[in-house]
Amino acid sequence: MTPTLVFDLETIPDMVGLRKLQGAGPEVSDESVYEVAITKRREVTGNDFLPLHLQRIAVVGCVFRDDNGFRVKCLGQADDPEESLIQSFFKTIDRYTPKLVSWNGSGFDLPVLHYRSLIHGLVAQRYWDNGDDDREFRYSNYISRYHNRHVDLMDVLAKYNGRGNAPLDEIAKLCGFPGKLGMDGSQVWPAWQAGKADEIRAYCETDVMNTWLVYCRFRQLRGEIDTSAYQQEIELVREFLHNNDAPHWQAYLAAWG
């Protein structure tokens, strides 16, 4: 079995970066720096969503599936520095060369990882290989949009047409899965400011679980696995949930029914 790594990021504004770009001194509060940034953003785009290079990674949620089983976790600890979380993600790729799976990873998660890795001066040689180190990567690598080492489910299902994009929450629910629980991406920054890092990590884990379940359905759709193998993957997830007494997993199981 080719190892599979499903991933999802939760991000917050990069206050250090915003201060640097604004030339804000210590006498200026974070609230003022943030307000200046989103005011400018609204003037340019009509919304307050900061550009990708100013999204600081707070959580990296992962599902990892290989011959040894099925695991779900957030990398590192809640108070780990951003660069440590990113390096852990790329070290997993270095070690296992997994297939990456995401929902809108090409449009958000991976570009954020690219910019933030560059800012921190990190190394991700295996991820960036396009055939120079491993000849096989010339024909299938993580970077090329139409290669299979990274499957962006949203992009593929929309046939690479932005007008066809759909929200993960709605697709998961329409497929009979729980969908989002607890919060959504727009609530992450207020929750982080309120010291609710553990709740954000729990939310990210349930969201990456939704992605995994949709991916299992996608594998069945394209004939990669048959109905029996699909059901085995679903039962593996249910077994995980039944054996895990964490509140967010019990809520997820209850929502699934």
CB environment 233-257: b (16+ within 10 A), e (fewer): bbeebeebbeeeeeebbeebbeebe
Number of neighbours of residue 14 by Cβ within 10 angstroms: 22
The residues pairing with 13 across neighbouring beta strands, listed in sequence order, are 55
pLDDT-based confidence at residue 132 (cuts at 50, 70, 90): very high
Q: How far apart are CA 188 and CA 197, in angstroms?
A: 9
- The pLDDT tens digits of the residues spanning 179-204 come to 998 787 788 999 999 999 999 999 99
Give the residue numbers spanning the domain of 240.
4-256
- In this structure, the strands spanning 55-66 and 69-74 are antiparallel
Q: How far apart are CA 5 and CA 131, in angstroms?
A: 21
Q: Which two tokens stand for residue 203?
A: 């939310």
DSSP conformation letters of 133-159: S-GGGGTS-SSSTTSSSEEEHHHHHTT
Let me know: does 123 contact 86? Beta carbons within 8 Å. no
Supply the pLDDT for residue 60.
Answer: 98
Overall domain count for the chain: 1
Over residues 88-106, the mean pLDDT reads 97
Q: Which two tokens stand for residue 244?
A: 């895990």
| CB burial of residue 225 (10 Å; 0-12, 13-18, 19+) | middle
CATH number of residue 137's parent domain: 3.30.420.10
Task: Name the percent of the chain lying above pLDDT 70.
Answer: 100
- In whole numbers, what is the pLDDT of the chain averaged over residues? 95
- The pLDDT tens digits of the residues spanning 204-219 come to 999 999 999 999 999 9
- The pLDDT tens digits of the residues spanning 108-121 come to 999 999 999 999 99
DSSP class of residue 35 equals: H
